[in-house]
Amino acid sequence: MIRRVLIANRGEIALRVIRTCRELAIATVAVYSEADVDAPHVAAADEAVPIGPAPATDSYLNIPKIIEAARRAKADAVHPGYGFLSESAAFAQTCEEAGLTFIGPPSAVIARAGSKTAAREAVRAAGVPVVPGGLPVSQADADLAQAIRGVGYPALLKAVAGGGGKGMRVVRSAEEITDAIGAARREVQRAFGDGTLYVERLIERPRHVEVQILADAHGQMVHLFERDCTLQRRYQKVVEEAPAPTLAPGVRERLTQAGLAAARAVGYVNAGTVEFLLQGDGERAEFFFLEINARLQVEHPVTEEVTGIDLVRAQLVIAAGEPLPFSQPDIVCRGHAVECRIYAEDSARLLPQSGRLLRYREPHGTGIRLDSGVREGQTITVHYDPMIAKLTAYAETRAAAFARVTDALRAFEILGVRHNVAFLLALLARPEVAACETDTGFIEAHLDELAARPSAQIQRAAAAIAAFVVARGPSPVRATAAPMPDPWQTLGRLDW
């Protein structure tokens, strides 16, 4: 039985874990850096322990400090969330050696799943289709170049360690090889401390689909159907939905079974995701294994909404050594859910932003779910991921879910930092999105249209309105008045 969980993370995922732990009467311990001393997750936990300066390497990525915090707080388990140390086999192993229950896969499984090349070979042996490619003979430039020529153009250089698109470089001709290898190696060395690269054939214009897996330590493994994460930029997901809207029934059955086979091939335990690239339409569509994410995914809320299963609760049950309380026939997919990631960013340049949230009001309504980790007055810092919130809408149909999430985005009030709400509204309004005629390169191909900058005149007017709103303070008739539109949100959509 798990009694006290330390959450080795911050922001919305820390609050998400706290919520389920509270429902199960499990005590929670937050950790926080100097930059997060007044963050909402710190106040929400039963206890909070400081772990060092703002830079993640000195706090949220510092394994000894987190283990010491767990000891000080007398925690008996650690939940890593996602990002930071969530896919670190070394962290999971250190928790195991310290007598802490790691709420995720065992360290050996993380190591197998985390090695892209080892996972590819294990999955290939299990009969799951994989993208052509592999590890070169050595990491010498000449051998990498030979591997690229062997795969054929266009090729994709990828990092063996890590993920999130770090180090990915497309190579379309022999002339691009040298620069691509150098740039990819430098980026992955900085990001992961391991510059090892491998090569895949680039699948042109694919959709991105993934299968959610749960596996207990008693041999039971189930899937919770699939998600579509095609709308992304620079290999970072922006909008996710469940179920995948383009899958024919036969393809869905083959895809989910392939996800289970891939997870079994690495001996998976706990919650995880098997990612695929999808090409073609109808029953003749093909899919190829991409990777296994050995953690809870950012986009897990859409799966929870369509299945009614709390994935964090399932993680805790499995980590406690208990069997899953349901089997595959019990899991039913109903309705449709879509999630939008709200970021502090300059969408036109795809650059994160920082600043103080002068005004922050979340939308509410039927079928609307908000997973956030910020509060009004808080500062979005340069030290961490600039996600403000995740907005999820659920409805009986895809069209109704998209209508709900669009209305909710329009009601979102964020003032003080640039954000991507107007960008998301422009994206969801595209007819290609409604018709599912997109691929993983869609956003970048249409970025100029989606993130059109307002004129200087509009920006000056918006700044004046913003200053007035802040100076005036809360309206005494706020409860009955219509919401005042956020000028930073609406200025990109005004027809002046």
Q: 3-class secondary structure for 422-462?
A: HHHHHHHCCHHHHCCCCCCCHHHHCHHHHCCCCCHHHHHHH
Displacement of CA 121 from its chain's centroid (Å): 25
CA distance 352 to 239: 17
Residue 144 per-residue DSSP state: H
Q: Where are the beta strands (DSSP E) in 96-195?
A: 101-102, 133-134, 155-159, 169-171
Please state, as a whole number, how many other Cβ atoms lie within 10 Å of the Cβ of residue 105: 29
CA distance 432 to 246: 13
CA distance 290 to 197: 15
- Residues 197 and 139 sit within 8 Å (Cβ to Cβ): yes
Active-site positions read 295
CA distance 79 to 85: 10
Q: Where are the beta strands (DSSP E) in 33-126?
A: 47-50, 77-79, 101-102
b/e per residue, 11-27, with b = 16+ CB within 10 A?
Answer: bbbbbbbbebbeeeebb
Pairs from 424-431 (Cβ < 8 Å, separation ≥ 24)? 424/238, 424/239, 424/340, 424/342, 425/493, 426/450, 426/451, 426/452, 426/492, 426/493, 427/231, 427/238, 427/239, 428/239, 428/340, 428/402
Burial of residue 263 (number of CB atoms within 10 Å: 0-12, 13-18, 19+): buried
Give the three-class secondary structure for 44.
Answer: helix
CA distance 214 to 315: 8
Which H or E run contains 150? helix 141-151
b/e per residue, 132-141, with b = 16+ CB within 10 A?
Answer: ebbbbeeeee
CA distance 161 to 178: 21
Pairs from 29-33 (Cβ < 8 Å, separation ≥ 24)? 29/4, 29/5, 29/69, 29/70, 29/73, 29/75, 31/6, 31/7, 31/59, 31/60, 31/66, 31/69, 32/59, 33/58, 33/59, 33/60, 33/383
- Residue 337 has which token pair? 């859910």
